[in-house]
Amino acid sequence: MTDSADRPTQPLQSSGATPAGSATVMEPQITGPSRNQWWDVWDQFKSHKGALFGLGFFIFALLFVTVGPLIWTIDPTFIDVRARNTGPTLAHPLGADQLGRDTLARMMMGGQTSIAVGLTAMLLALVLGTFIGVIAGYFKRMDGPLMRLTDLFLALPLLPLLLVIIMLFRDQLRAAFGPEGGIFVLIVVVIGVTSWMQTARVVRGDVLALKEREFVLAARSIGTPASMMILRHILPNVMSPIMVSATLGIANAIITESALSFLGLGFPSDFPTWGRLLFDATEWLQRNPERVIWPGLAISLTVLSVNYIGDGLRDALDPRIRGR
């Protein structure tokens, strides 16, 4: 007989059961790095076709007004008498105005001013609206007075108010900052001061909901001061409505500046904006209708693109919609 010790050892067959007395060996699972949440935001933003169009056109508009003058080097104030009131030509692809100034160069220069007014006024309105909204939402005793102030501004007729403010302070600011600088400061301040109310109400509503959340109550229970609470816990969680309000504020500021320039209360005629170019072209509408088309298209498409960007950001930054 063959001794059992001399028999070859058979490999153990794996089974679902674990032998008694033996420890279960868990194989370590290797996981990749966690995905950044901003990639999820970008994926949701890309699914909005209108938002992609808006982002693409807005980038094109920024390149048109910033890089364009480096390529098309004609001085927008240069007067070519032989090209007065001409249509599109090789020398002037968008035509020339009644003095012979190149329309393409003036569109680039006017776009710089219009977009600069939109961005600066938006920043001012955003700072005011966020500050008032956070203070009103976090401090209960400040809620009533600040919201009544917001309601007062919402009840004011904005266009007559804008006209009155410009007529009262235009000459003083021109004397202090120059003809162009004074009007720029005046229009930015006027638009910013009259455009913060919607942001304040949205931010206040979010802060009222946030300050009752568990992480805020826990931070308050350990004695976190109010300033640190707002900066570290409240503001980062209200960035979504703030960013959406920012995009919509740019569109509102561009439209308001264009309306003021169209009424002749904006920048002087030798300092073009898209609204001023539209105002100057109305006198030549029957003879040169394309002079009205170019600034009108620039204003309309820029505002439309910014609105689409705002819609895409609203959907992408909302966790309830993200991933659908």
Of the listed ranges 65-79, 135-149, 176-190, the one predicted with least confidence: 176-190
Q: What is the pTM of this model?
A: 0.78
Judged against a pLDDT cut of 70, whether residue 13 lies above it is answered with no
The whole-angstrom separation of Cα 140 and Cα 257 is: 36
Q: Looking at residue 5, what is its pLDDT?
A: 45
Judged against a pLDDT cut of 70, whether residue 1 lies above it is answered with no
Q: What is the mean pLDDT of residues 95-118?
A: 90
Q: How confident is the model at residue 36 (pLDDT cuts 50, 70, 90)?
A: low
Of the listed ranges 25-34, 103-112, 280-289, the one predicted with least confidence: 25-34
Q: Tell me which residue of 248, 121, 119 sits closest to 193, measured CA to CA.
A: 121
Q: How confident is the model at residue 35 (pLDDT cuts 50, 70, 90)?
A: low
Q: What is the mean pLDDT of residues 1-25?
A: 47
Q: What is the mean pLDDT of residues 166-182?
A: 82
CB 87 within 8 A of CB 290: yes
The whole-angstrom separation of Cα 179 and Cα 189 is: 16
Q: What is the mean pLDDT of the chain?
A: 81
Q: Looking at residue 37, what is its pLDDT?
A: 67
pLDDT digits over 41-56, tens only? 787 788 888 889 999 9
Structure tokens at 1: 């007989």
Judged against a pLDDT cut of 60, whether residue 141 lies above it is answered with yes
The whole-angstrom separation of Cα 262 and Cα 282 is: 9
Structure tokens at 215: 């992480």
Q: How confident is the model at residue 204 (pLDDT cuts 50, 70, 90)?
A: very high
- Per DSSP, the chain holds a count of helices (H) and strands (E) of 13, 0
Structure tokens at 233: 């816990």
Residue bearing the bigger pLDDT, 269 or 272: 272
Of the listed ranges 10-24, 175-189, 204-218, 265-279, the one predicted with least confidence: 10-24
Structural domains present in the chain:
48-65+103-317 (1.10.3720.10)
pLDDT digits over 224-244, tens only? 888 888 888 888 888 878 888
Judged against a pLDDT cut of 70, whether residue 18 lies above it is answered with no
Q: What is the mean pLDDT of residues 213-223?
A: 84
